[in-house]
Amino acid sequence: MVRRIWLLTYTVVAICFVIIPDAAKGELCQPASCGDFLDIRYPFHLKNASPRQNCLKTLDYPAELSCQHNRTILNLYDGTYYVKAIDYELFRIRLVDPGLLSDSCSFRPLHRLTDSNFTPDYSPDQYNPVSEHYAAFFDCSFPVESPDYVNITCSSSSTTLYSYVTVADGVDDLHSSCNMSTIILGNYEETGKALSFSSIHDELRQGFELSWWQFVPEKYCYSPSQSLYCFREHLKRGFIRAAKITGLSLMARMVLGIIFLLAFWSYKLYWKKFLKDDAVEKFSAVCNDLMRRRYSCSDIKKMTIDFKIKLSQGAYWKKFIKDDAVEEFLDAYKNLMPRRYSYSDIKKMTNDFKDKLGQGGFGSVFKGELSNGHLVAVKMLSGSKGKGQDFINEVATIGRIHHVNVVQLIGFCSQGSKRALVYDFMPNGSLDNYIFPERGKNLLLGWDSMHEIALGVARAIEYLHQGCDMQILHFDIKPHNILLDENFTSKISDFGLAKFYPRDNNTVSLTAVRGTMGYMAPEMFYRSIGGVSYKADVYSFGMLLLEMTGRRKNLNAHAEHSSQIYFPSWIYDQLEKGLSIEIEDAGEDKKIAKKMVMVALCCIQLMPVNRPSMSKVIEMLEGDVELLQMPPKPFFCPQEMPMEDPPDDTDVEEVSALSNESATEMTSMV
| pLDDT tens-digit map of 447-478 | 899 999 999 999 999 999 988 778 889 889 99
Residue 43, in any domain of the structure? no
Q: Do 192 and 87 belong together in one domain? A: yes
- Asked if residue 379 belongs to a known ligand binding site, the reply is yes
Q: Do 207 and 265 belong together in one domain? A: no
| Mean pLDDT on 234-241 | 48
Q: Do 443 and 522 belong together in one domain? A: yes
Nearest to 100 by CA among 183, 16, 210: 183
| Mean pLDDT on 232-252 | 49
Q: Do 393 and 407 belong together in one domain? A: yes
Residue 370: the pLDDT is 92
Residue 38, in any domain of the structure? no
Residue 125: the pLDDT is 44
Give the pLDDT band (50/70/90) at residue 361. low
Nearest to 481 by CA among 431, 427, 444: 431
Q: Which of 115, 323, 476, 494 is catalytic?
A: 476
Q: Do 602 and 466 belong together in one domain? A: yes
Q: Do 284 and 366 belong together in one domain? A: no
Residue 634, in any domain of the structure? yes
pTM of the model: 0.49
Residue 34, in any domain of the structure? no
Residue 221: the pLDDT is 44
Q: Do 333 and 413 belong together in one domain? A: yes
Q: Do 165 and 101 belong together in one domain? A: yes
Q: Last residue of a domain, which of 211, 234, 267?
A: 211
Q: Do 541 and 417 belong together in one domain? A: no
Is 476 a catalytic site residue? yes
Residue 27, in any domain of the structure? no
Does the pLDDT at position 26 exceed 60? no
| Mean pLDDT on 565-580 | 62
- Residue 435, C-beta contacts closer than 8 angstroms, at least 6 positions apart: 479, 547, 548, 551, 552
Q: Which has more pLDDT, 557 or 597?
A: 597
Residue 121: the pLDDT is 44
In degrees and rounded to multiples of 5, residue 586 shows phi and psi of -70, -40
Residue 113: the pLDDT is 79
Does the pLDDT at position 140 exceed 80? yes
Residue 196: the pLDDT is 76
Nearest to 398 by CA among 417, 379, 383: 379
Q: Do 207 and 221 belong together in one domain? A: no
| pLDDT tens-digit map of 166-224 | 877 655 556 667 777 778 887 665 545 567 777 888 888 888 888 875 544 444 444 44
CA–CA dist 592, 121 (Å, integer): 57
Q: Last residue of a domain, which of 313, 333, 364?
A: 313
Q: Do 660 and 549 belong together in one domain? A: yes
Weakest-pLDDT range from 44-58, 113-127, 291-305, 566-580? 291-305
Residue 560, in any domain of the structure? yes
Q: Do 528 and 616 belong together in one domain? A: yes
Q: Which domain holds residue 81?
A: 64-211
Does the pLDDT at position 143 exceed 70? yes
Give the pLDDT band (50/70/90) at residue 433. confident
Residue 260: the pLDDT is 66
Q: Last residue of a domain, which of 255, 289, 313?
A: 313
CATH of the domain at 450: 1.10.510.10
Residue 522: the pLDDT is 86
Residue 413, in any domain of the structure? yes
Average pLDDT, the chain: 70
Specify the number of domains making up the chain.
4
Give the pLDDT band (50/70/90) at residue 321. very low
Beta strands in 259-344 (DSSP E): 339-340
